[in-house]
Each structure stands twice: as structure tokens, then as C-alpha cells.
Amino acid sequence: MTRAPDDLREALLDWYAAYGRDLPMRRPDVAPWATLVFEVMSQQTPIPRVQPVWERWMRLWPEPADLAAASPADVLVEWGRLGYPSRALRLRDCAIAIAARPGGRVPADYEELLALPGIGPYTASALASFQFHARLPVLDTNVRRVLARVLDGAQFAPKSAPTRTETARAAALLPVDGADAARWNVAVMEFGALVCTQRSPSCDGCVLRGRCAWATAGFPEAPTRPRGQAWAGTDRQARGRVLAALRGLHEENRASSVPPARPSEEKGRSASPPSQSSEAASATGLSRVPGPAAGQPIGLSREEALRAATLPDADPAQAPRVLASLVADGLVAEDPAGLITLPGRSDAPGERG
């Protein structure tokens, strides 16, 4: 199999050594569990948005057993606004499966990783490569785009999942040593994120320009451009508003249960950012997200949840459909009285599981 020319590999690795971001998620002392959480969080989500959430999760749940013991409600609250919140529940399922393994550790084998709940080929290969130095290609959207441009002369990689041919070609480019292969994978990924971007690639000063088939061909444009998923007016937006309102209730309850600070602690304390509760109230159109009465579960009435799910000028059928989909996906629960809560817990105020 043909390997990447030495000059191509050297140019890219030199660029990475000089310009790669110093991300805490990629430092050598990061544990496999932390890498797993980061890789799941960063799917379809930019790293600047992921980093603060990942750092908080690592403080709260540094081991799989810690997340396994957390309530689904807490997990969804701490997921915040990363989007695609089903990933949070899949991570918890994954943590439960890992905690049940001998030693409670993340497996090193690709096939064992792939057998974990919520772990697909990309995440399994990323973990096996970055943490355990398996000689495997890691094909995220950035890597695929770089290889499509440099080797194939195409503006974009195919929309479909990587084929066996694409995976085999990427594997043939890897250095022989597993640790070197891991660094190569990260370098190509970072290059795609910072230089060879989808919308505005920095081709003028690109260190690979003289070796890039797309540049040599005159930058031919693809017949169609990849499009991001729509948000405004969609069921995703409506679902997010319901979850934001419920998260806001939990945040408000959590804040109200914290004892007031001593005067000496107040001195020099910076102002707190707006709570999710106030932001959720603004987003949903409720005058405020109502807090639970003493001894009552934390949740919204069905009417309040439907109001939160109602977008301006929306089809009247959208809000009930959205609420039903959230229940079906396990992201919210509805009790016989019609109270809508986050799943796995209906705590009284002040409690946290």
C-alpha cells in the first residue's frame, strides 16, 4: 500500500507542532474515559462550545462509575446547550456498561469499544488510536475533507459514511508506529478544523498547497455544497425550548438550595451569569419558568410544556408532536397528572441525586 509521501507528512506534522491548539482534552495525561466523553460531545459541536462543558463533567464525573450513578435529570441539566441531548443519555448508558466491566475501565480493543452503548466507528477508532495507539485511521469530517482535497482533488468528501475503500486508503497513509499514527490523525483533524475548513479554507498560505490535488486542479467547485441542518422553526428548536425550560427549573432549584454566602465571601465575588431559568423563560414566552412548591416534583404542567414548544407562526400540530417525541426518546417523562419532568427523577426542591 502507498503511504503518505514523507514531505507531505513532515509538512503537516511540522504545521501541527507550530499551530495545533493546546486543548486540555488532548493532553497526554487525559484518561481514556475523559477522551471518550470529549469525542462524543464534539460530534457535530464546535470545540469552543464543548470545552467548558467537558471540563465541568470531568469535575463532576471523573470516572465512568460516577456518571453511571448520576440521575438522567442531572446529566441532561449538565449537558446544557450542546445540542443533540440524546448523546448525554447515551453517555450515561455507556458509563453504566463500562462500570460493570472488570475494573470499571474503558476497553482498549476497537471491537469492544464498538460494542459499548452509543459508540460508533468514529468514536471507537478515535479512542483506540489516541489513547491506546492502535494503528487505525480516524475519519471525522475534517480528516475526510483534507484527504479529499489533497489526494482526490475534490472540494468536499462524500456525504455518505466512509466506505471501505476510503477507510483502507486512509489506513495506508498512517505511519507504522501506533503513537506516530495517533499524532498524524490528530494533526490532519486539526488542520481541517483550522486551515482546510469547509467554508473558507486558507489556501493562500497553506503548507500543503504545492502538494494539494484540489489546488493543482484550480479549485474546482463541487456541484453541491454541504448544508448544515436547519434550526429555526424546526422540531429541534421546539424540543430545545422545552428542555431549556426544564433545565432552568433545575438550575433555579439548585440556586435556591445553596446557603447564602458570608459577607467575607461576598467581597470580590463577580456577578453570576443569567440563569438558565431566566433565559428559558425568555426563550419560551413564559413570564417566568415557575419553580416547584415545597415538597413538589420539579417540572412543567402539560400546558406550560406545550406553550414552551410552540414557535411563532408554527403548525398547531407541532407542539404536541414535539412533546410526544421527547417522551418517546426518553428525554422527558410525563406522569399520570400530566406533569412534564426530566427523566429518572422527580425530586423535591433542594435534592440532587
Cell numbers at 119, concatenated: 459508540
List, in sequence order, every beta strand (DSSP E) within 265-308. none
295 to each of 292, 302, 351, how far by Cα in Å? Answer: 8, 19, 10
Q: What share of the chain is helix, strand, coil (3-state, %, to 5)?
A: 55, 0, 45
Q: In angstroms, how far is CA 9 from the centroid of its own chain?
A: 29
Residue-wise DSSP of 154-170 = -SS--SSPPPHHHHHHH
Reported as half-sphere exposure (CB side, CA atoms, 13 A), residue 274 has a value of 8
DSSP for 104-132? G----SHHHHHTSTT--HHHHHHHHHHTT
Cα dihedral 319→321→323→325 (10° resolution): -150
Please, are residues 249 and 291 in contact by the beta-carbon 8 Å criterion? yes
Strand partners, 340: 300, 334
Establish whether 39 is a catalytic residue: yes
- Which of 10, 39, 112, 334 is labelled catalytic? 39
Contact 75, 331 (CB under 8 A): no
Contact 114, 120 (CB under 8 A): yes
**What residues act catalytically?**
39
